[in-house]
Amino acid sequence: MGEDQQQQLETAAEDLMQRLRLKATELLLREEWKEAVQVYSQFIDLCKEQIMETTHEQVQLSKLHKSLCLALSNRAEARSRLRDFNEALIDCEEALKMESTHFKALLCKGKVLLSLNRYSMALECFKATISDAQASGNFEAVNGFLEKCKKLEYQSRTGAFDLSDWILNGFRGKCPELAEYIGAVQIRKSEISGRGLFVTKNIEAGTLLFVTKAIATERGILSGEDSSENEQLVMWKNFIDKVMESISKCQRTRSLITTFSSGENENELEVPDISVFRPEIQESSYSNEKLDMGKILTILDVNSLVEDAVSANVLGKNKGLYGVGLWTLASFINHSCSPNARRIHVGDYIIVHASRDVKAGEEITFAYFDMLSPLEKRKEMSKTWGFNCNCKRCKFEERMSSKQELREIEIGLERGIDAGSAVYRLEENMKRWIVRGKEKGYLRASIWGAYSETYGTERLMKRWGRRIPTMEAVVDSVVEAVGSDERIMKGGLKRNFCGVLDLERTMNLGRGLYGKVVKKQALKSLLEMGICEQS
Ligand X SMILES: C[S@@+](CC[C@H](N)C(=O)[O-])C[C@H]1O[C@@H](n2cnc3c(N)ncnc32)[C@H](O)[C@@H]1O
Contacting positions for ligand X (CB under 6 A) = 190, 192-196, 261, 263, 266, 269, 302-303, 331-332, 334-336, 386-387, 389-391
Q: How far is the CB of 174 from ligand X (least distance, A)?
A: 30
| Complete DSSP assignment for 315-356 | TTPPTTEEEEEEETGGGGPEE-SS--EEEEEETTEEEEEESS
Q: How far is the CB of 392 from ligand X (least distance, A)?
A: 10
Q: Which is nearer to ligand X, 194 or 412 (CB)?
A: 194
Q: Which is nearer to ligand X, 266 or 408 (CB)?
A: 266
Q: How far is the CB of 391 from ligand X (least distance, A)?
A: 5
Q: Which is nearer to ligand X, 47 or 300 (CB)?
A: 300
3-state secondary structure 207-221: CEEEEEEEEEEEEEE
Q: How far is the CB of 369 from ligand X (least distance, A)?
A: 10
CB 451 within 8 A of CB 473: no
Q: How far is the CB of 383 from ligand X (least distance, A)?
A: 11
Q: Which is nearer to ligand X, 73 or 334 (CB)?
A: 334
Strand partners, 155: none
Q: Is 168 left (phi over 0), alpha (psi -120 to 50) or beta?
A: alpha
Q: How far is the CB of 260 from ligand X (least distance, A)?
A: 6
Residue 237 burial by Cβ neighbours in a 10 Å radius (0-12, 13-18, 19+) = exposed
* CA 467 to chain CA mean position, Å: 45
Q: Is 137 left (phi over 0), alpha (psi -120 to 50) or beta?
A: left
Which residue lies nearest ligand X, judged by its C-beta? 194
Q: Which is nearer to ligand X, 214 or 413 (CB)?
A: 214
Q: Which is nearer to ligand X, 367 or 527 (CB)?
A: 367
Q: Which is nearer to ligand X, 266 or 357 (CB)?
A: 266
Q: Which is nearer to ligand X, 113 or 381 (CB)?
A: 381
Q: Which is nearer to ligand X, 25 or 287 (CB)?
A: 287
Q: How far is the CB of 467 from ligand X (least distance, A)?
A: 35
CB 91 within 8 A of CB 104: no
Q: How far is the CB of 209 from ligand X (least distance, A)?
A: 15
Q: How far is the CB of 196 from ligand X (least distance, A)?
A: 6
* CA 261 to chain CA mean position, Å: 17
Rounded Cα distance between 201 and 196, Å, is: 16
Q: How far is the CB of 252 from ligand X (least distance, A)?
A: 18
Q: How far is the CB of 271 from ligand X (least distance, A)?
A: 9
Residue 433 burial by Cβ neighbours in a 10 Å radius (0-12, 13-18, 19+) = middle
CB 332 within 8 A of CB 230: no
Other CB atoms within 10 Å distance of the CB of residue 480: 15
Q: Which is nearer to ligand X, 262 or 429 (CB)?
A: 262
Q: How far is the CB of 189 from ligand X (least distance, A)?
A: 9
Rounded Cα distance between 333 and 365, Å, is: 6
| H helices present in 204-330, as ranges | 228-249, 251-257, 293-303
Q: Which is nearer to ligand X, 115 or 262 (CB)?
A: 262
Q: How far is the CB of 355 from ligand X (least distance, A)?
A: 16
- Helix (H) or strand (E) segment spanning residue 499: none
Q: Which is nearer to ligand X, 65 or 379 (CB)?
A: 379
Q: Which is nearer to ligand X, 12 or 297 (CB)?
A: 297
| H helices present in 374-519, as ranges | 375-384, 392-400, 404-414, 419-432, 437-446, 448-455, 458-464, 471-482, 503-514
Beta strands in 4-159 (DSSP E): none
Q: How does DSSP classify residue 203?
A: B
Rounded to 10 deg, the angle between the 119-136 and 139-158 helix axes is 160
CA dihedral 510, 514, 516, 517 (to 10 degrees): -150
Strand partners, 358: 203
Percent of residues in the chain assigned helix, strand, coil, to nearest 5? 55, 10, 30
